[in-house]
Amino acid sequence: MEAFLIILFILILLILIIIIYNYSSGEGQQNQRTYISCPPQKIEIPIKVTVSYGTGYTNDNQIIKGSRANPDSLWVSFGQSITVNNYEICDGLIYVGKNLVGEYGYIDPSLINPELPIDSSNPDHKGTSLSYWPSYSEISPQARAAYLEWLTRGRRTPDTNIGYVFLFFYGLERRILRDARTSDKAKLEVQEIVTEIEELLKVYNSNNSFCNYANSFLEYLKAAFLPDTLELDPSRLNRSWQYPLGLKIVLGSFAEILKPIPSEWALAWVENDPQRWLRTPAHRCRDEFSQLFALRYRDKYGDGLVVKPNATKIKVEYRPASNGFNNTFLKEIDKPDITVLDGPLRKIHEIAESCINDLDPYSRFIGRRSGDAKTLAAMALLPDELLLAIQDKIVNDLKQYLYNSTSTSSDSTVIKAKDLLRFFNLENKGKIAKADVVSITQLLGRFGYAVIPDIRFQEGQIDPQESVVVFKSKSSTQAVSTKAYSTSTMIMKLAVAVSASDNDISTNEKSILESQLNRMLDLTDYEKERLRAYLRWLYESPSEFTGLKRKLSELGVSQRESVASFVVQVANADGVIQTDEIKMLKKIYGILSLDPENIYSDIHKFQTSQKEELITIQPGIQKKTGYAIPKRKSNENTVELDEGLIQRTLRDTEKVQVILAEVFGNEDIQTTTTESKFIGVIGLDSSHSMLLNLLLEKDNWAHEEFYSICEKCDVLPEGAIETINSRSYEVLNDALIEEGEDYKININLAKEI
């Protein structure tokens, strides 16, 4: 029974499978029949295309029809006239006729065929229909009309499309490069063609392509036919994509006999270097650049650089502009071609580049103010060699005035500001711009003089109505104020103000002030020299101290006490405070609205706060008791400075400087709640400004050198680089210091400071 049921189940299953299969097959066939489509029909649509290029234009114009013409019979010589389709051409130098064979047996591109159609009513003056290599037989009738019109006008119309000039030029090339090989008549026309090309260059020299082809063709013609006419004047050479032939020949002649290359030819070598284009100062300041180059070239190489002759000979190559040629023409000259040598050229480029770098500030100035190139403000930016050699009247007059003003004094001289400013046309200005003041002080510094006041040293502004102090100074190139110097000037200013508070500065008070000069903090010799002149200027500027007591009284008690304490420190720098100094300190206390009687306790407090001198205990001796008294210090006239005290004093300078800057209205110092910031080089504080000035003395520093000068300027090396470069990016858009195996200075940027 079970077996029967199993068989029945299998049969039913098979029947179901057959039914499903048949149903699926039938549906598939039905679907296939439903989606059968007819193949697409091929539709043909006739299109007629007509190409035209002017009336009567066909490609047959390029084909020689009949016998080839003799070139001499088609050539119109210079000075001859000919009429082509009512266009009268008077100056010749063209081919007119038929069947002038060019390259590959086709019509020469320059041939003017009078039988070809011309559209005189619609000439293509702009040359919009011209191809890159125009051929008279192929250009449109409108272009032919424009070309013939240009020829009738004498070939000197400046706004002509350069394609028409090249079309004419093709004929000049053909006359010499092909016809002159077999025609004596053509050989005699070389000079006329050279003259014509030179005249064309005067009109169409703005097109670089034409200039290159024309100048190269001229050189080939002169080398091959007119060697005595080659340009041998370095100032008249034409820069091109290759060295001028005249330059090669002259340099080769020097090398042949081991003769030094004069500076003017060395300059011509770098100026015509096709691989390098000299930067803007070499072109904008061409006269100054050539003068500076000559000075530095002679300074380094004397009569000139000597280059040994090499084996490479001078070759003159010319590849014609016309597509009527497919070859390059070559002429070899039996002279060494030293322009292929890299070594000598590299040495000359180094000199040229140094000149360009040093002229960059001057170039930028006259780029902005082209009309001021001969002013003293501009001349102040010239390199030393040029500035000191200038024989300009205004420069000589200024030098003479400075000499006369200081020749009778071994120290400093007081002059009226107006007398100095008249050399700069600033004597009638109400207020002198900072940029002008910096130009004045820089220029005087270049001549070996310094002026007080100088805003770079935070000494104040030059007032046309007041006096200035001028002194000779060749000992320093320092051009930024240090913290110590700035604070010293303010202390001196306060001391002079106190002395003048009773409308009189006694001789004794002046003596005390001047005696303090050598005690003033940690100043360089140049700063002491300036401070002495600054003190003299203060004597001449009583108006500086108007309302001083009122300003001081507005300070808080702690601020006034800080100033008083600092003055006591300075007075005690040599360990001794004299009686006259006590009197001066009392006057300062009085003007600070402090009790003058406190001066003694303040001095005692300051002195006892210092490290006590150790007392040496003598070894005990039998039957003797007590202590050995230390030997008393010698009371000699020599001053022994307490270096530790000086260093402690320096730590207080910024705090006092900020206070006094507020009192004296010094705009060159910006303050915050914690420290003062001095506006120095590119806005750096005084320490980093001094560091940067030292770094600018050369363009490469070893690590040991860099760390040493950072230590002198009291800055951290790593932080100094970040500080200077950060400010440099803000002002000059680039880094001034590049850190690697050594520290490299970007001299180009430095010139902008």
Residues in a beta bridge with 671: 676
Name which of 451, 491, 479 is nearest 467 in CA terms. 451
- Average pLDDT value for residue range 495-516: 63
Which of 19-28, 397-406, 587-596 is modeled with the greatest confidence? Answer: 397-406
For residue 705, pLDDT beyond 60: yes
- What does the domain layout of the chain look like in residue ranges? 1-206, 231-381, 391-472, 483-617+641-664, 680-750
CATH for 680-750 (1.20.1070, 1.10.3470, 1.10.8, 1.10.10):
1.10.10
Which region among 92-101, 257-266, 558-567, 690-699 has the lowest average model confidence (pLDDT)? Answer: 558-567
**Residue 216 pLDDT more than 80?**
yes
In this structure, of 182-191, 702-711, 742-751, the range with the lowest mean pLDDT score is: 742-751
Mean pLDDT, range 627-656, rounded to an integer? 50
Q: What is the pLDDT of residue 29?
A: 42
Burial of 530 (0-12, 13-18, 19+ CB in 10 A): buried
Burial class (CB in 10 A: 0-12, 13-18, 19+), 643: exposed
State yes or no: pLDDT of 44 exceeds 50.
Answer: no
Residue with tokens 């050594």: 742
Least confident of 86-90, 636-640, 693-697: 636-640
Give 239's contacts (C-beta < 8 A, 6+ positions apart). Answer: 271, 272, 274
Please tell me the predicted confidence (pLDDT) of residue 504.
Answer: 58
Is 12 exposed, middle or buried (CB count within 10 Å of its CB: 0-12, 13-18, 19+)? exposed
Query: Is the pLDDT reported for residue 364 higher than 60?
Result: yes
Compare 714 and 224 and report the one with higher pLDDT. Answer: 224
- CA dist 190 → 77, 369, 593, 655 (Å): 11, 48, 98, 85
Q: Which has more pLDDT, 567 or 226?
A: 226
DSSP for residue 239 = P
Residue-level pLDDT at 72: 95
**Cα–Cα dist 531/458, whole Å:** 12
The pLDDT of residue 511: 66
Confidence at residue 671, expressed as pLDDT on a 0 to 100 scale: 37
Q: What is the pLDDT of residue 52?
A: 36
AA identity, residue 273: D
pLDDT at 542: 58
- Could you give the 3-state DSSP secondary structure of residue 471? strand
Nearest residue to 663 via CA among 521, 467, 494, 459: 494
Q: What is the pLDDT of residue 514?
A: 63
The top-scoring range by mean pLDDT among 197-201, 237-241, 702-706 is 197-201
Distance CA 517, CA 485 (A): 11
- Residue range 430-476, pLDDT digits in tens: 788 777 888 888 888 888 888 988 888 878 788 888 889 998 886 55
What DSSP letter does each residue of 420-431 carry, written as one string? HHGGGT-TT-SS
Distance CA 668, CA 431 (A): 16
- pLDDT classification of 683: cutoffs 50, 70, 90: low
Q: What is the pLDDT of residue 247?
A: 92
Which contiguous run of DSSP H or E holds residue 330?
A: strand 329-336
The pLDDT value given to residue 718: 65
- Kindly state the DSSP code that residue 335 receives in the 8-state scheme: E
* Higher-confidence position of 685 and 377: 377
Strands 467-472 and 449-452: antiparallel
DSSP 3-state assignment of 94?
strand
| Mean pLDDT computed over 128-153 | 94
Confirm if 138 and 58 have CB atoms less than 8 A apart.
no
Looking at residue 395, its pLDDT comes to: 86
Residue bearing the bigger pLDDT, 589 or 28: 589
Q: What is the secondary structure of 624-690 as a DSSP string?
A: B-S-PPPPPPP--SS----HHHHHHHHHTHHHHHHHHHHHHT-TTEEE-SS-EEE--GGG--HHHHH
Joined tokens for residue 210: 């034409």
Segment 69-85 mean pLDDT: 94
Q: Which two tokens stand for residue 701?
A: 């520093």
pLDDT at 377: 82
Q: Tell me which amino acid residue 382 is.
A: L
Q: How confident is the model at residue 121 (pLDDT cuts 50, 70, 90)?
A: very high
Query: How does the average pLDDT of the chain come out, rounded?
Result: 78
Which amino acid, one-letter code, is at 105?
G
Mean pLDDT, residues 132-151 taken together: 95
Is the pLDDT assigned to residue 84 strictly greater than 80?
yes
Q: How many CB atoms neighbour CB 309 within 10 A?
A: 16
> Which residue, 75, 84, 74, 71, is CA-closest to 115?
84
* CB distance 533 to 454 below 8 Å: no
**Choice between 443 and 256, residue whose per-residue pLDDT is larger:** 256
φ, ψ for residue 425 (rounded to 5)? 60, 35
pLDDT at 40: 43
Identify the pLDDT of residue 154: 94
Q: pLDDT confidence of 638, banded at 50, 70, 90?
A: very low
- Among the listed residues 535, 523, 466, the one whose alpha carbon sits nearest the alpha carbon of residue 497: 535
Residue with the two structure tokens 């039998």: 622
Confidence of residue 102 (pLDDT cuts 50, 70, 90): confident
Bigger pLDDT: 298 vs 656: 298
Across the range 329-346, mean pLDDT stands at: 94
**Rounded-to-integer distance, Cα 175 and Cα 169, Å:** 10
Residues 293-334 have pLDDT tens digits of 999 999 999 999 999 999 999 999 999 999 888 889 999 999
| Residue 694: its H or E element | helix 686-695
Residue-wise pLDDT tens digits, 573-616: 556 677 767 777 777 787 777 887 777 777 777 667 654 444 44
Q: What mean pLDDT comes out for the span 628-655? A: 49
Could you tell me how many helices (H) and strands (E) the chain has, helices first? Answer: 30, 14
Selection from 240-249, 511-520, 623-632 with the highest mean pLDDT: 240-249
Highest mean pLDDT among 304-308, 461-465, 676-680, 713-717: 304-308
Q: Measured between alpha carbons, how far is 481 from 521 in angstroms, rounded to an integer?
A: 14
Asked if residue 453 has a cis previous peptide bond (ω within 30° of 0), the answer is: yes
Q: What is the pLDDT of residues 279-299, one digit of tens each?
A: 999 999 999 999 999 999 999
Lowest-pLDDT range, 41-55, 241-255, 297-311?
41-55
Residue 104, both tokens: 């590959």
* Structure-token pair, residue 201: 């260059």
In this predicted structure, what is the pLDDT of residue 262?
Answer: 95
Type of residue at 513 = L
Please give the pLDDT value at position 101.
87
User: What per-residue confidence (pLDDT) applies to 298?
Assistant: 95
Query: Token match 């010139």: residue?
Result: 751
pLDDT band, very low/low/confident/very high, at 191 (cuts 50, 70, 90): very high
CB 399 within 8 A of CB 447: yes
Tell me the C-alpha to C-alpha distance, in Å, between residue 302 and each of 292, 351, 352, 446, 492.
14, 13, 16, 26, 52
Largest CA distance in the chain: 151
Q: Which pLDDT band holds residue 667 (cuts at 50, 70, 90)?
A: very low
Residue labelled with tokens 């400010």: 727
pLDDT (0 to 100) of residue 35: 33
